[in-house]
Structure 1
Amino acid sequence: MSGDTDLIKLYSGRILELAADIPHHGRLSAPGATVKKRSPLCGSTVTVDLNLANGTVSAFGQDVKACALGQAAASVVGGAILGTTPDQIVQARDDLRAMLKDDGPTPSAPFDGLEVLRPAVAFKNRHASILLTLDAASEAVAQLVQTQSA
């Protein structure tokens, strides 16, 4: 029964609030890059559309079909990503992965809202879904940086 109780605690009110209100939910009409990521374990998918201008994210859209934890992560990322640099996005992804897998520190601002997902550390089968949005955004900015420097 303890496992059931832990799972119930994991889906806190704050996580459910975030999951219900995802910023920039929807696709961009003219994205510079589009990346779709899928978690093979649970089937969650996230498609990210992204534009860069002057070295920062100028437009962001996301189509999220994920569990509440993946939706909550997408909500935090969607609320924080505009105006960030490619390096900040990659660092946030790496920090989130370390937080989940190694109980590392919370990603730094503006992605520090991902702290709400710290209780998921114990639920390894949820990690991939939580990482989807930042994985997709990291790949999208890498594509755009490569295109812009070519």
Structure 2
Amino acid sequence: MSGENDLIKLYSGQILELAADIPRLGRLDAPGASVKKRAPLCGSTVTVDLSMQDGKVSDYAQDVKACALGQAAASLVGAAILGCSAEQIASARDALRAMLKEDGPTPPAPFEGLEVLRPAAAYKNRHASILLSLDAATEAASQAEETKTA
């Protein structure tokens, strides 16, 4: 019964609010890069479209089909990503992974809001869904940068 109560606590009001109000939903008409990521264990998917200008994210959209935790992560990423460099996005992804898997520090600004997902560290089967948006955004930012320099 304790495990069930812990899971209920995990889906806090704040997580559900974030999941219900995901910014930058949809797709871009002409993105610099588009990447779809899937969490094999649960089937959650996130497709990220983004464009880069002067080394920073200038436009971003996401199509999110994930559990509430994946949606909450996407919400926080969507709210923070504009103006970020590919390096900042990769650092946030790495920090989020470390926070979930190794009780690492909170991801750096502007992604510090991901701290709200720290209680999910105990639920390894949820990690992939939580990481989808930053995994996809990291790959898309890298692709968009490569395209501009090619």
* TM-score normalised by L of structure 1: 0.99
Q: Is the 8 A contact 2:74 2:133 kept in 1?
A: yes
Q: Corresponding residue for 1:149?
A: 149
Q: How far is the alpha carbon of 1:54 from its aligned partner?
A: 0.9
> How do residues 50-129 of structure 1 correspond to structure 2 at under 5 angstroms?
50-129=50-129
Identity %: 74
Cα distance in 2 for residues equivalent to 1:65 and 1:39: 10
Count of residues paired in the alignment: 150
Q: How far is the alpha carbon of 1:149 from its aligned partner?
A: 2.1
Q: Report Cα offsets for 1:59-104 as digits up to 9, x if no partner.
A: 0000000000000000000000001111000000000000000010
Cα distance in 2 for residues equivalent to 1:13 and 1:112: 18
Cα distance in 1 for residues equivalent to 2:122 and 2:26: 31
| Aligned residue identity for 1:8 | I
Residue 23 of structure 1 aligns to a residue whose secondary structure is: coil
Q: Corresponding residue for 2:29?
A: 29
Gaps of 5+ in 2: none
Q: Corresponding residue for 2:48?
A: 48
Runs of 4+ in structure 1 deviating by more than 3 angstroms, as ranges, are none
Q: Corresponding residue for 1:4?
A: 4
| Aligned residue identity for 2:124 | K
| Aligned residue identity for 1:80 | A
Gaps of 5+ in 1: none
Cα distance in 2 for residues equivalent to 1:26 and 1:113: 22
Q: Report Cα offsets for 1:9-59 as digits up to 9, x if no partner.
A: 000000000000000011011111000000000000000000001110000
| Aligned residue identity for 2:56 | T
* TM-score normalised by L of structure 2: 0.99
Q: Which moved more, 1:64-73 or 1:136-145?
A: 136-145
What RMSD over aligned residues (CA atoms) do the two structures have, in Å? Answer: 0.5
| Aligned residue identity for 1:20 | A
Cα distance in 1 for residues equivalent to 2:36 and 2:129: 13
Cα distance in 1 for residues equivalent to 2:82 and 2:45: 21
